[in-house]
Amino acid sequence: DTGVSQDPRHKITKRGQNVTFRCDPISEHNRLYWYRQTLGQGPEFLTYFQNEAQLEKSRLLSDRFSAERPKGSFSTLEIQRTEQGDSAMYLCASNPWDRDDNEQFFGPGTRLTVL
């Protein structure tokens, strides 16, 4: 068990470009969460999955954002037509669903810089 991994760790892009991030949760973890963390702030919830089903999306998740978890394992988060305001750390977390007190295990994050 190597923990939650995210790729890439850093991404620099120009405004208007599309970017895609990947998250690999801990194996056997049914739930997968995406958060966004801007400088000086705590993480803010974006969306989460149970297996391949997307259960909830935050109002922070504009139409330019889309997330998938097609086989219930890894997940991707795509941002289309990036804007400078999208610059942030994107965090992924996972946990099993079958215990209410389960902590969420976080990955190292993908730091996005939009120029």
Residues binding another protein (CB under 8 A): 3-4, 31, 33, 35, 40-45, 48, 56, 91, 95, 97, 100-104, 106-109
Q: How far is the CB of 94 from another protein (least distance, A)?
A: 10
Q: Decide whether 13 or 111 has the Cβ nearer to another protein.
A: 111
Q: Could you write out the DSSP letters of every residue in 46-111?
A: EEEEETTEEEEE-TTS-TTEEEE-TTSS-EEEEESS--GGG-EEEEEEEE-SS-TTPPPEE---EE
Min dist CB 91 to another protein, Å, is: 7
Q: Which is nearer to another protein, 44 or 83 (CB)?
A: 44
3-class SS of residue 4: coil
| Closer by beta carbon to another protein, 80 or else 104 | 104
Q: Which residues contact 58 (CB under 8 A, 6 or more apart)?
A: 44, 45, 46, 47
Cβ 7 to another protein shortest distance, Å: 14
Toward another protein, which CB reaches closer, 40 or 85?
40
